[in-house]
Amino acid sequence: MKKEYLLSIDEKGRIVIPKEVREELNITSKVKLIVEDGKIELLPYIKKNYRGLFKASLKSENIDEILKEALEERSKKWLKDI
């Protein structure tokens, strides 16, 4: 469903995204702005943060083994999510 909003721009060029839109799209701190063919598009920004993505025991001194365990664990999660 298409919705339209009339937004004001302040003297510093800032706009406020309406609360209902921020909540619907789960926008908390950043958006991606795309300018193309005279149009502006705002998209939710998805941070590519890989911290905490893998769980591995750091007791092992073999980094290859740590990475192998982490990749296996993450692969299982990806397959489960498909």
| pLDDT tens column, 3-30 | 999 999 999 999 999 999 999 888 888 8
Domain containing 32 — which CATH number? Answer: 2.10.260.10
The answer on 55 and 77 residing in a single domain is: yes
User: 37 and 63 in one domain?
Assistant: no
Rounded Cα gap, residues 27 and 59, in angstroms: 38
Whether residues 54 and 26 share a domain: the answer is no
Tens digits of residue pLDDT in 30-57: 889 999 999 999 888 876 666 666 665 5
pTM beyond 0.85, yes or no: no
Domain that holds residue 74: 49-82
